[in-house]
């Protein structure tokens, strides 16, 4: 079975969020299931630099100008097609927006091209390898099913929604440039309230639609989380499903993680204490093993609910806890967190920026990972927290509620608790969650038991890969 994955980023070549973790791990997991997987990516400078390019597959002329399709392999041995079109992709910094956080004005062309090249590969422009199925991820790749539907010999398609809130919506006037059939611009197509929506194209034209957790798959069929597409998602309910993401054990594993100060496992936890001491020292936090260390590793956006954390920091530090944050995004939030650290340097540490190594060190050092999201399609940091023995304190929403088991008395009794959940999106509810974490921390034996259960959770990629394989087979591939 030959599968082409289409996406905008892929770990370790280029990563801005969880999408890259998924597109990095899924091909390897599918390959272990016997699939032949290749990936198609835009030629962002970081991707071209990190790939071992073996040559040019074909040169093409497109609506977005001339381009070359190159082929290379990742260090892990996954084959990657990359679209070399410097006039579209060779821009410094973020792949989606400029230095002032403004989307590039030609994003419709930059990402339509990704879908268009996927369709050409599906038609066989590489004479040596032609996919049986194309699997596109998020709005950046969402025109692939539309271009494929419009092609002479369409192959089957799967579209995965990683985040319905980012839709790739552009003015209707951009449509003509994309060279899609005129009648696709319709309410039964990719028209969305008088504009053109890449996300809607993926949902409408794909043979199967998935999202990254079962709960989020249900939530997006309701108006609260449907982002205007809930009606279509309800209509497509029979082909919509949720497949939970996994954790790449080769990248996230405290027993052999080269990025952390000391390795450890649930049977031998002394390394975690060393990691905590090292982080406290590095950041000038009080050297205190008994202070529970709360952590956040996140994009600082509206989705993640971090203003709730800002407003409950006093609850953590007044009870003798500590807090560390690694994140970047919203400028106002960045400066408020920095100010909090300046006011309480021995208890609050904040690093603004994106730092892969430091994200591992925080997971290893901390006792609690906080994810109070407004919505969360899957969420990966709570999964990393479980694995590294940082108990998740999360809102009961999306993938968070599918992956964390609350430390209620019954769950403690049964030995299945792994963290704490709260319901309402409010400071009061988060505060209650923080208090519950302190209450558990005070019961050292129980804390350790919960931590052991958390660390033994199996959120590997194989179960997810098996489900994707079933889905692909169900489409006759």
Q: Which residues of this protein are in contact with ligand ADP, per CB under 6 A?
A: 17-19, 21, 297-299, 326-328, 354-356, 359, 378-381
Q: What angle do CA 6, 146, 236 make, to 5 degrees?
A: 95
Q: How many residues does the chain have?
A: 477
Q: Which residues pair with 240 in a beta bridge?
A: 209
User: Among 144, 233, 291, 380, which residue sits at the site for ligand GLC (rule: CB under 6 A)?
Assistant: 380
User: Among 167, 210, 225, 245, which residue sits at the site for ligand GLC (rule: CB under 6 A)?
Assistant: 245
Whose tokens are 């003015």? That residue is: 171
> Which residues, 6 or more positions from 253, have their beta carbon under 8 angstroms from its beta carbon?
387
Cβ atoms of residues 37 and 30 within 8 Å = yes
- The partner in contact with residue 356, picked from ligand GLC, ligand ADP, none with C-beta cut-offs of 5 to 8 angstroms by kind, is ligand ADP
Question: Quick one: CA torsion of 255, 256, 257, 262, rounded to 10 degrees?
Answer: 60
User: Among 35, 378, 405, 465, which residue sits at the site for ligand GLC (rule: CB under 6 A)?
Assistant: 378
Cβ atoms of residues 287 and 322 within 8 Å = no
- The partner in contact with residue 180, picked from ligand GLC, ligand ADP, none with C-beta cut-offs of 5 to 8 angstroms by kind, is none
**Residues 391 to 420: which contact ligand GLC by CB under 6 A?**
399
Q: How far is the CB of 305 from ligand GLC (least distance, A)?
A: 12
The nearer residue to ligand ADP, 112 or 296, going by C-beta atoms, is: 296
The nearer residue to ligand GLC, 88 or 378, going by C-beta atoms, is: 378
Q: Where are the beta strands (DSSP E) in 409-468?
A: 420-422
DSSP state of 103: B
Q: Is 371 in the site for ligand GLC (CB under 6 A)?
A: no
Q: How far is the CB of 18 from ligand ADP (least distance, A)?
A: 2
Q: Is 10 in the site for ligand GLC (CB under 6 A)?
A: no
**Residues 134 to 173: which contact ligand GLC by CB under 6 A?**
162-163
Cβ atoms of residues 13 and 43 within 8 Å = no
Cβ atoms of residues 206 and 138 within 8 Å = no
Q: Is 248 in the site for ligand GLC (CB under 6 A)?
A: no
- The partner in contact with residue 212, picked from ligand GLC, ligand ADP, none with C-beta cut-offs of 5 to 8 angstroms by kind, is ligand GLC
Cβ atoms of residues 284 and 346 within 8 Å = yes
The nearer residue to ligand ADP, 21 or 315, going by C-beta atoms, is: 21
CA 293 to chain centroid: 24
Q: Is 381 in the site for ligand GLC (CB under 6 A)?
A: no
Quick count: other Cβ atoms within 10 Å of Cβ 11? 18
CA 245 to chain centroid: 9
Using a 10 angstrom Cβ sphere, with 0-12 exposed, 13-18 middle and 19 or more buried, the burial of residue 470 is exposed
- The partner in contact with residue 326, picked from ligand ADP, ligand GLC, none with C-beta cut-offs of 5 to 8 angstroms by kind, is ligand ADP
The nearer residue to ligand GLC, 85 or 295, going by C-beta atoms, is: 295
- The partner in contact with residue 453, picked from ligand ADP, ligand GLC, none with C-beta cut-offs of 5 to 8 angstroms by kind, is none
Q: Is 18 in the site for ligand GLC (CB under 6 A)?
A: yes
Which residues of the chain form contacts with ligand GLC (CB under 6 A)? Answer: 17-19, 22, 162-163, 212, 245, 376-380, 399
């Amino acid at each position: 079975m030959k599968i082409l994955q289409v996406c905008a980023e892929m770990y370790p070549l280029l990563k801005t969020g969880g999408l890259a973790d998924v597109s990095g791990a899924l091909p390897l997991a599918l390959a272990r299931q016997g699939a032949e997987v290749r990936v198609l990516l835009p030629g962002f400078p970081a991707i071209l630099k990190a790939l071992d390019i073996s040559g040019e597959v074909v040169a093409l002329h497109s609506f977005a100008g001339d381009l070359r399709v190159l082929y290379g392999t990742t260090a892990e041995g996954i084959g990657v097609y990359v679209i070399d079109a410097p006039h579209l992709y060779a821009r410094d910094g973020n792949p989606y927006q400029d230095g002032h956080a403004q989307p590039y004005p030609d994003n419709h062309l930059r990402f339509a091209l990704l879908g268009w090249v996927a369709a050409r590969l599906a038609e066989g422009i590489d004479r040596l390898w032609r996919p049986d199925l194309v699997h596109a991820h998020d709005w950046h790749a969402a025109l692939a099913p539309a271009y494929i539907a419009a092609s002479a010999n369409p192959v089957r398609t799967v579209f995965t929604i990683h985040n319905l809130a980012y839709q790739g919506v552009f003015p209707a006037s951009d449509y003509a440039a994309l060279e899609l059939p005129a009648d696709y611009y319709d309410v039964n197509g990719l028209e969305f309230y008088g504009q053109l929506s890449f996300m809607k194209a993926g949902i409408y034209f794909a043979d199967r639609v998935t999202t990254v957790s079962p709960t989020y798959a249900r939530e997006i069929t309701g108006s609260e989380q449907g982002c205007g597409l809930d009606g279509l998602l309800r209509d497509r309910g029979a082909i919509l499903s949720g497949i939970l993401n996994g954790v790449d054990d080769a990248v996230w594993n405290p027993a052999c993680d080269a990025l952390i100060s000391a390795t450890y496992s649930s049977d031998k936890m002394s390394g975690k204490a060393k990691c905590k001491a090292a982080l406290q020292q590095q950041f000038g936090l009080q050297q205190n093993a008994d202070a529970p260390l709360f952590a956040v590793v996140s994009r600082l956006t509206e989705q993640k609910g971090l203003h709730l954390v800002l407003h409950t920091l006093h609850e953590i530090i007044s009870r003798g806890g500590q807090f560390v944050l690694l994140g970047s995004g919203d400028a106002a939030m960045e400066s408020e967190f920095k100010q909090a650290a300046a006011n309480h340097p021995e208890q609050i540490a904040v690093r603004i920026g994106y730092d892969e190594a430091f994200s591992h060190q925080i997971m290893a050092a901390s006792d609690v990972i906080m994810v109070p999201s407004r919505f969360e399609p899957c969420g990966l940091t709570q999964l990393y927290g479980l694995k590294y023995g940082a108990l998740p304190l999360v809102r009961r929403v999306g993938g968070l509620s599918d992956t964390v088991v609350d430390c209620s008395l019954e769950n403690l009794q049964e030995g299945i608790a792994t963290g704490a959940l709260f319901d309402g999106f409010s400071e009061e509810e988060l505060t209650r969650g923080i208090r519950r974490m302190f209450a558990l921390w005070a019961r050292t034996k129980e804390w350790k038991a919960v931590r052991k259960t958390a660390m033994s959770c199996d959120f590997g990629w194989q179960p997810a890969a098996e489900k994707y394989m079933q889905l692909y087979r169900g489409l006759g591939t």
